[in-house]
Amino acid sequence: MPKVTESYIASKKDTIIQSARLVFQEKPLSQITMRDIISKTGFSQGGIYRYYSSVDEIFLDAINQATPTNQIDLSIDQLIESERSPANSIFDCILSLGEYIKELQNTLGGKMLFSLLVMYAFDSEKKKSVVEKLIFHQTLNKAQQSIIAYIQDNINNGRLKPTVPFHNLLKFTQSAIDGIANDAAILSMESTEETYITEQFEILAKTILYFLGLEQ
């Protein structure tokens, strides 16, 4: 029996992940079972459980492995730290979120991601145990927090004068971004549907600027 090293375990996990992706190309994520994945790997039923205890764990690794970890972070940071006006920076930050989601839609990992988001949309337990561990979820939240902090700083120094209470603007922004992301997740499951991600984020950006008393 091969020596069990970290590289050996990583190799076995990668085989399982690649097998899960192959199965996903044949059937919806919600219908994939551990047996389906075992069949693709050629492992024994007991063998696969040495590495993963559930399909959720496999899905999580498969999606996270295919999700860029710092692409949106760098883009947002560069826009915020630039010498441009708050209006231009905020507008382009919001558009960057849309581009991030749009790019993911065109990848296999992104399609798995959005399928999982739809599958667990109304399962609070799964949201906590699986969805919150997604790099996509963490990255999107971090990006939103960075944008909101930038807006808050500019309100505090008097460069921005919002026409609505800040906490209302905060709730609106978070709800809108989550709503567009969820809509993209649902529509991405139908390959013939156009999601209009860029257009929706452009409208959101203009609306936020309006509430901040700005024009782009």
* Residue matched to tokens 């993209």: 184
Structure token digits, residue 191: 């390959």
Is the domain of 14 the same as that of 27?
yes
Residue type, 96: S
Last residue within a domain, chosen from 63, 81, 104: 63
d(CA 96, CA 183): 17
- CA nearest neighbour of 112 among 43, 37, 50, 44: 37
Q: Which DSSP string do the residues of 162-185 spell out, in sequence order?
A: -SS-HHHHHHHHHHHHHHHHHHHH
Is the domain of 110 the same as that of 15?
no
d(CA 185, CA 31): 17
Average pLDDT over all residues of the chain: 89
1 belongs to a structural domain: no
What is the number of structural domains in the chain?
Answer: 2
Report pTM: 0.85
**CATH number, domain containing residue 201:** 1.10.357
d(CA 182, CA 172): 15
Find the distance separating the first CA and the last CA of the chain, reported in whole Å.
64
Domain that holds residue 153: 66-211
For residue range 116-173, what is the model confidence (pLDDT) as tens digits? Answer: 998 998 888 888 889 999 999 899 889 999 999 999 999 999 999 999 999 999 999 9
* Predicted local confidence at residue 197, as pLDDT: 87
Q: Are 126 and 29 in contact (CB under 8 A)?
A: no
d(CA 155, CA 152): 5
Is the domain of 52 the same as that of 118?
no
Is the domain of 42 the same as that of 82?
no
Q: Which residues contact 3 (CB under 8 A, 6 or more apart)?
A: none
Is the domain of 83 the same as that of 177?
yes
For residue range 27-68, what is the model confidence (pLDDT) as tens digits? Answer: 999 999 999 999 999 998 889 999 999 999 999 999 999 988
Helix (H) or strand (E) holding 30: none
Q: Are 18 and 58 in contact (CB under 8 A)?
A: no
